[in-house]
Amino acid sequence: MEAARKAFFPSLTISPYVGYNAFKANLLFQSPASLAWGVLGGLTAPIFNQRQLKAGYDISKASAYTAFYQYQQTVVNSYRDVGTAMNAVENQQQTYRLKRREVDMLKNAVSTANVLYSTGYASYLEVITAQKSVLEAELTLVNTQRGMYRGLVSLYRALGGS
């Protein structure tokens, strides 16, 4: 944007051809006009190209705003993604803790069912049913743990990991 703004001002450029410019070889070193046209072009270009320079400035200004808004949107999206991933991990961890307690309780139920079966107060079907409940709860626990790890991977990616 600074370059587009500086283009509004006249410039005097010193180049290797030392300002000599002519379309006829015999006038190249004889005519002082060849020097004058080289200098005059750099000084008058901003006056004659003012609309083009203003359009270039406006374009560069719009590009800067676009880049800023895209950056701002990227920051907002990243913040949202990190927040969502952190909440998902936290929810999965809480679910895992509750499922872990459920599995422990069901294991106690299996041991109680075994005691009841061995003393004759329960049938073996109750022991099998209690074991089935433990197995299902453990499978759910494993799936919950997998979801927790997926959430951690999402969080890692949201923080910039690959």
Contact between 134 and 107 (Cβ < 8 Å): yes
Long-range interactions of 150-157: CB distance < 8 A, separation 24+: 151/85, 151/88, 151/89, 151/91, 151/92, 152/89, 154/85, 154/88, 154/89, 155/82, 155/85, 155/86, 155/88, 155/89, 157/85
CA distance 157 to 82: 9
Is the predicted pLDDT of residue 47 greater than 70, yes or no?
Answer: no
pLDDT digits (tens, 9 = 90+) for 130-160: 999 999 999 999 999 999 999 999 899 888 8
CA distance 106 to 127: 11
Which element (helix H / strand E) includes 99? helix 50-119
- Give the least confident one: 18-27, 71-80, 82-91: 18-27
pLDDT at 56: 78
